Amino acid sequence: MTSTGTTDTDTTSAGTPPSQVPLVDYLVLGDDPHLLASECTACGARYFDRRNACASCFATEFTKVRIASEGTVRAFTIVAFAAPGVPVPFVSAVIDCDGTSVRGNLINVEPDPDHVHTGMRVRLTTYLLGTDDAGTEAIGFGFEPVEN
């Protein structure tokens, strides 16, 4: 499913970087991390999940398109109370990335209304989420403020 080299578990030799998997399959890792959407070839609607057909026009052909890695926060909330095991507080947001709406956390910013506001410019960034028993790293993504 992913091309992140999960077959080679012998990563202990010096100099070999640990293998990585993205948190979700629409996050592309590497030197230039970005998000990849499925775009309906008929109407241009974009989706991040596995598709059976297009919810907008019912067509079944999709191509992969790269999503702009910078965008504007259109909506946010600062979640202070979440399900067990979810660290709080965190900032959940909807980011307008050049016309495509993306859901993600705002990170590398103080999670309070003095530091987060709609209209702020943010860019995609990745972080280490955890390492499993095989030494494979899971990489998550979020959006951080763009300094003016």
| Residues near other proteins (CB under 8 A) | 1-2, 21-26, 45, 47-50, 55-56, 74-88, 90, 92-94, 99-105, 113, 118-119, 129-130, 132-134, 136, 138, 140-141
Q: What is the distance between the alpha carbons of residues 147 and 125, in angstroms, rounded to a whole number? A: 14
* φ, ψ for residue 145, nearest 5 deg: -60, 145
42 binds Zn ion (CB under 5 A): yes
Give least dist CB 15 to other proteins, A.
23
**Alpha-carbon dihedral of residues 4, 143, 35, 98, nearest 10 degrees?**
-160
Give least dist CB 124 to other proteins, A.
12
Considering only 6, 11, 56, 60, the residue that binds Zn ion (CB under 5 A) is 56
Q: What is the distance between the alpha carbons of residues 121 and 138, in angstroms, rounded to a whole number? A: 26
Closest CB to Zn ion among 64 and 115? 64
Q: What is the distance between the alpha carbons of residues 42 and 97, in angstroms, rounded to a whole number? A: 21
Give least dist CB 38 to Zn ion, A.
10
104 by Cβ neighbours in 10 Å (0-12 / 13-18 / 19+) ranks as buried
97 binds, among Zn ion, other proteins, none (CB under 5 to 8 A by kind): none
Give least dist CB 114 to Zn ion, A.
41
Q: Write the DSSP symbol of residue 3.
A: -
Closest CB to other proteins among 65 and 130? 130
Q: What is the distance between the alpha carbons of residues 46 and 96, in angstroms, rounded to a whole number? A: 13
The footprint of Zn ion (CB under 5 A) covers 40, 42-43, 45, 54, 56-57, 59
